[in-house]
A and B are shown apart, each in its own frame.
Chain A
Amino acid sequence: MKTTSPVGKSVPRIDARQKVTGEATYVFDLKFPGMLVGKMLRSPHAHARIVKIDTSKAEKLPGVRAVVTAEDTPKIKFGSNEYFFPYTVDQYPLEFEKVRYIGDEIAAVAAVDEATAEQALSLIDVQYEVLPAVFDAVAAMKPGAPQIHAARNNIGVMLPVCFGDPDRALRESDYVHEDVFVLPSAAHAALEPHVCIGQYEVSTDRITLWSSTQAPFKIREAMAKTLKMQEADIRVIKLNVGGGFGGKLEMFPMDFCACLLSKKCGGAPVKMMCTRQEVFSCTRRKHPMIYKLKSGVKKDGTLMAITGEVIADGGAYCSYGPTVIAAGIMRFMMVYQLKNIRLFGSRVYTNNSISGAIRGFGGVQSGFAIESHMDMLARGIGMDPVEFRLKNTTDPNTLTINKMIISSNGLKDCIRKAAEISGWREKYGAKKETSPGVLRGIGIGIAADVMGSKMYKSHESAGSIIKVEEDGSVYLFTGAADTGQGSDTAMAQIAAHELGVAYERIRIKAADTEITPFDTGSFASRVTFISGNATKNAATDAKRQILEVVAQELKLGVQDLDIEDEQVVNKKSGKMLLSFDQAVVLCYSFNYGRLIIGRGSYNPKTTPIDFRTGEGNISGSYGFEAQIAEVEVDTKTGRVKVLKMYDVHDIGYPINPASVHGQIEGSIVMGLGYTLYEDLKFKEGRVVNPSFSKYRIPRSTEMIPIESVFIETNDPQGPFGAKGMGEASLLPTAAAIANAIYDAVGVQIKDLPITPQKVLAALKDIKNKKQE
């Protein structure tokens, strides 16, 4: 079977066959001769000074091959937003002065088996001097709170944003509303736990790390820095990754330790895997956030100003703190035309586990706050929420007040279409009691998303190489890291389409720092847009090389030739001149001997957010969407049932429609979990629900009908008009559901998750108020 011109078609995933047969290899599946099992020693205290670490007993245990502590390391800190935010570099791969959360890494062991490794951990004697700890972000900001790092008032990252004259705009508003929204932590809950294998090669002093990661080049950079090695001496290889969602976007101490232990053992490979409990408790989690908002509108619906404060519990280290706080604020200006805005964002250190990137960065939290808040503003002036949004949302070719350059923008079309397909006009405000005490409601939320973010490195380039072999086979080398979202497939489709060959011809080699070109990784919905452009450019280059030979041979102008559907064609006459295979044979023939190696890279025109002003065009383009939820609320039990979600998404152009729908459906169901029950709970810094039985994620029985529609804006920068879209569908879900609950029963729940207890309490509240 041949699929020519594959872009825009739902071709089967390039890796699907291996995955359904069980042949797909994940890091845990690798086994090498002499391989050892590594384990991390983690702090049992939330905050303590390390007085002494004695590893001698552990080292003597039979079967133990190596123990490492900070004394075996160069003691160099790393961070994830290092380039633009050097002050956020705050974590040692192994701590030696202090521990700052329950789970902080202090030492690691390598042993012949897991039981021995675990026993060895118990034999490491660490003396601590326990320090007072703080677990609440607001408390941590108060004078006299325990000092976790050197940051004043424990505020690790500050983002003050002020444009226009918000105070005046509020005074001139006809209606002003104040709200406080509270967002809990959540877990990525990727099914494959964090796992890696480190191997040191003694003869070359080089390291190979196989890691379940979304960003192999980022790990390489952090490893080189913290091990004081050259990046070229570290090879990071990504295999299949069993889900990431932002939770595998950094170097983890286990990556570092697997390599260091291997070196100390004389080169034996060391495998490390997190237990499920460790994944929940000691990797990364969603930033719990508080949004205090005060905004004003005119009677005609004009949004005058948004003001307020955003406080994020960052946990023990900074991780992607700057990106998260920026994402939690900047989206306001992507979505709404704002002339007056003042928001003060603080990411605060606490002694909870480390908050970091998770699908949407801070966008999910901000999406709930702003979209609930907007509904309440609309309500205050008696305006339909859909009309209110149509009046205030951004347009195409807009320069936002903070200098974001929005080119294609289908947001208003998304809103209109969502209203149309959901029957908004008939349903909104029409309270329907479906059975005694059970009421139906409808609600909307909208969102915008980036496709890339210039927050981590001086550039955010990606590269691809395409080689066409003598037998006509096409190899694509890309740095893009597929973690299940389907980027390998999208890259193959783009390469095949641009080169003019069938999708089935493409063999892909991805995300190996020694073999493939650089790529910053799978985050910020950037891969289709940035790596896709790089791949398209590589294919254009390979095609040019082939056509130059054909043009020379046939004495035609190269500009008159193209390759389409496996044929070299004359663009003017439309005549087929020779097949792709014949053209390749010609390239490699006696007279030409021309090897076809195309290369491409792409660096979007972006600028980082200036954290003094809030200005910056962080993305090469922006994606938009509208989501509408229909719910049923049982007023006797407080139970909310989501009946259907409608999602209309400006995706530019869908490279693979089935994959795009799959991203949207997966996001919505993930959002459904966060809205109704997901809540990573802490008690004195300890995660109290670190298992799938205690931390509930959506199950198949909770699947809801989803109607997903694309708005094709054909982005001028995107490859074949495509935009990134892997995160945006998670952003408005919670607010759409919360607003639908209001429509059904007249209560606005402002803290997630929306449990039956909260709904019942809110219903009781309004009943009491009515009686007063």
Chain B
Amino acid sequence: MKTVTLDVNGKVFCLDVPDGELLIETLRDRLGLLGTKYSCLEGDCGVCTVLADGKNVLSCLMLTVEAEGRKIMTIEGLTQGSSLHPIQQAFIDEGAVQCGFCTPGMVLASKSLLDRCPLPTKEEIAHALDGNLCRCTGYVRIINAVLSAAQKMKKTS
């Protein structure tokens, strides 16, 4: 067991966790942040994507003790009150959501991209989302949503 101080969605938590506990387990089981989805647990599918210091990481491959000292953001941290982040809104508007299981990870991976590259090309978006699998949409509308969000964010900034 180790005592870790975790910064998740801007809130600080002090938790006693086993050395081998995965970040996904801490987020879901201890903090109740269920938007981080649980699927392959092998780092293959991307549905458990969260942001660590703004960069997308797989919470099934990261130990909770490794997350200490890093700012973790889950999908729950992206919504400010009742207003959605432009990426979330674009996913709705563009019809990029089907079963929704990949959506939180996709949205966060997209945020990570747009934070470092505000006006990406379609190819850059595809490249950035390459680790996030989707079986429903064929990616067409997801990529369109990220493009549209980028344009909207550019206008408002």
Residues of chain A at the chain B interface (Cβ within 8 Å): 10, 12-13, 15-26, 28-29, 188-193, 240-243, 245, 275-276, 483-486, 658-659, 661-662, 665-670, 691-693, 697-701, 703, 706
Q: CB-CB < 8 A to A12: which residues of B?
A: 92-93
How far apart are the CA atoms of A734 and B99 in the complex, in Å?
Answer: 25
Per-residue 0/1 for B90-109: is the Cβ within 8 Å of any A Cβ (1 yes, 0 no)? 01111101111111100100
How far apart are the CA atoms of A661 and B141 in the complex, in Å?
Answer: 9
- Considering only CB atoms, which chain B residue lies closest to A657 in the complex? B95
Judge whether A241 and B99 touch: CB under 8 Å.
yes
A-B pairs with lowest CB-CB distance, top 6: A22-B35, A484-B99, A242-B101, A669-B138, A19-B100, A658-B95
Asked if B147 is an interface residue, CB under 8 A from chain A, the answer is no
Judge whether A191 and B126 touch: CB under 8 Å.
no
Where chain B touches its partner, the secondary structure class is loop
Task: Say how far B143's CB is from chain A's closest CB, in angstroms.
Answer: 6
Judge whether B141 and A22 touch: CB under 8 Å.
no
- Considering only CB atoms, which chain A residue lies closest to B76 in the complex? A22
How far apart are the CA atoms of A26 and B44 in the complex, in Å?
Answer: 20
Judge whether A701 and B137 touch: CB under 8 Å.
no
How far apart are the CA atoms of A355 and B88 in the complex, in Å?
Answer: 38
Judge whether B92 and A20 touch: CB under 8 Å.
yes
Q: CB-CB < 8 A to A241: which residues of B?
A: 99
**Of B37, B79, B137, which is within 8 A of A666 by CB?**
B137
Q: CB-CB < 8 A to B140: which residues of A?
A: 662, 665, 669, 703, 706
Given A13-B97, A693-B44, A700-B130, residue A666 in contact with residue B136 (CB < 8 A):
yes
Q: CB-CB < 8 A to B84: which residues of A?
A: 17, 20-21
Q: CB-CB < 8 A to B91: which residues of A?
A: 16, 20
23 contacts between A and B (CB under 8 A): A18-B100, A20-B88, A20-B92, A20-B104, A21-B79, A21-B88, A22-B35, A22-B36, A26-B101, A190-B135, A191-B102, A242-B37, A669-B140, A670-B135, A670-B138, A692-B45, A699-B130, A700-B130, A700-B134, A700-B143, A703-B138, A703-B140, A706-B138
Q: CB-CB < 8 A to A191: which residues of B?
A: 37, 39, 45, 47, 99, 101-102, 133-135
**Of B38, B95, B136, which is within 8 A of A28 by CB?**
B38
Count chain A CB atoms within 10 A of each CB in B34, B98, B134, B138 and give the residue with the most.
B138
Q: CB-CB < 8 A to B78: which residues of A?
A: 21
Q: CB-CB < 8 A to A483: which residues of B?
A: 99
Judge whether B135 and A659 touch: CB under 8 Å.
no
How far apart are the CA atoms of A671 and B36 in the complex, in Å?
Answer: 29
How far apart are the CA atoms of A19 and B47 in the complex, in Å?
Answer: 13
How far apart are the CA atoms of A20 and B75 in the complex, in Å?
Answer: 8
Judge whether A24 and B88 touch: CB under 8 Å.
no
Task: Say how far A674's CB is from chain B's closest CB, in angstroms.
Answer: 12
Judge whether A276 and B41 touch: CB under 8 Å.
yes
Interface residues on B, range: 35 or more
Asked if B148 is an interface residue, CB under 8 A from chain A, the answer is no
Add 14 more A-B contacts to A662-B98, A665-B141, A698-B138 (CB < 8 A): A19-B100, A21-B76, A23-B35, A28-B38, A188-B135, A191-B39, A191-B133, A242-B99, A242-B101, A485-B136, A665-B137, A692-B44, A703-B126, A703-B138
Interface residues of B in 97-152 (CB under 8 A from A): 97-104, 107, 125-127, 129-130, 132-143
Judge whether A243 and B99 touch: CB under 8 Å.
yes
How far apart are the CA atoms of A191 and B40 in the complex, in Å?
Answer: 8
Count chain B CB atoms within 10 A of each CB in A190, A700, A706 and give the residue with the most.
A700
Judge whether A703 and B143 touch: CB under 8 Å.
yes
Q: CB-CB < 8 A to B59: which residues of A?
A: none
How far apart are the CA atoms of A21 and B78 in the complex, in Å?
Answer: 8
Judge whether B75 and A692 touch: CB under 8 Å.
no
- Considering only CB atoms, which chain B residue lies closest to A30 in the complex? B34
Judge whether A240 and B100 touch: CB under 8 Å.
yes
Interface residues of B in 7-66 (CB under 8 A from A): 33-42, 44-45, 47
How far apart are the CA atoms of A519 and B36 in the complex, in Å?
Answer: 31
Judge whether B40 and A692 touch: CB under 8 Å.
yes
- Considering only CB atoms, which chain A residue lies closest to B34 in the complex? A29
How far apart are the CA atoms of A697 and B129 in the complex, in Å?
Answer: 14
Judge whether B132 and A242 touch: CB under 8 Å.
no
Task: Say how far A118's CB is from chain B's closest CB, in angstroms.
Answer: 14
Judge whether B39 and A243 touch: CB under 8 Å.
no
Task: Say how far B112's CB is from chain A's closest CB, in angstroms.
Answer: 14
Judge whether A701 and B130 touch: CB under 8 Å.
yes
Q: CB-CB < 8 A to A21: which residues of B?
A: 35, 75-76, 78-79, 84, 88
Count chain A CB atoms within 10 A of each CB in B47, B92, B95 and give the residue with the most.
B95
Judge whether B44 and A691 touch: CB under 8 Å.
yes
How far apart are the CA atoms of A661 and B95 in the complex, in Å?
Answer: 9
Judge whether A25 and B98 touch: CB under 8 Å.
no
Judge whether A669 and B101 touch: CB under 8 Å.
no
How far apart are the CA atoms of A691 and B125 in the complex, in Å?
Answer: 25
How far apart are the CA atoms of A21 and B34 in the complex, in Å?
Answer: 10
How far apart are the CA atoms of A25 and B88 in the complex, in Å?
Answer: 17
Judge whether B98 and A484 touch: CB under 8 Å.
yes
Judge whether A243 and B125 touch: CB under 8 Å.
no
Judge whether B100 and A242 touch: CB under 8 Å.
yes
Judge whether B138 and A20 touch: CB under 8 Å.
no
Task: Say how far B22's CB is from chain A's closest CB, in angstroms.
Answer: 13
Q: CB-CB < 8 A to A26: which residues of B?
A: 37, 101
Task: Say how far B11's CB is from chain A's closest CB, in angstroms.
Answer: 16
Task: Say how far A165's CB is from chain B's closest CB, in angstroms.
Answer: 44
Count chain B CB atoms within 10 A of each CB in A12, A192, A669, A703 and give the residue with the most.
A703
Q: CB-CB < 8 A to A668: which residues of B?
A: 138
How far apart are the CA atoms of A671 and B150 in the complex, in Å?
Answer: 30
Judge whether A691 and B40 touch: CB under 8 Å.
yes
Given A20-B91, A276-B40, residue A245 in contact with residue B98 (CB < 8 A):
no
How far apart are the CA atoms of A666 and B102 in the complex, in Å?
Answer: 14
- Considering only CB atoms, which chain B residue lies closest to A22 in the complex? B35
How far apart are the CA atoms of A19 and B34 in the complex, in Å?
Answer: 11
Q: CB-CB < 8 A to B130: which residues of A?
A: 699-701
- Considering only CB atoms, which chain A residue lies closest to B79 in the complex? A21
Q: CB-CB < 8 A to B41: which residues of A?
A: 275-276
Task: Say how far A346's CB is from chain B's closest CB, in angstroms.
Answer: 30
Q: CB-CB < 8 A to A20: which residues of B?
A: 75, 84, 88-89, 91-92, 97, 100, 103-104, 107
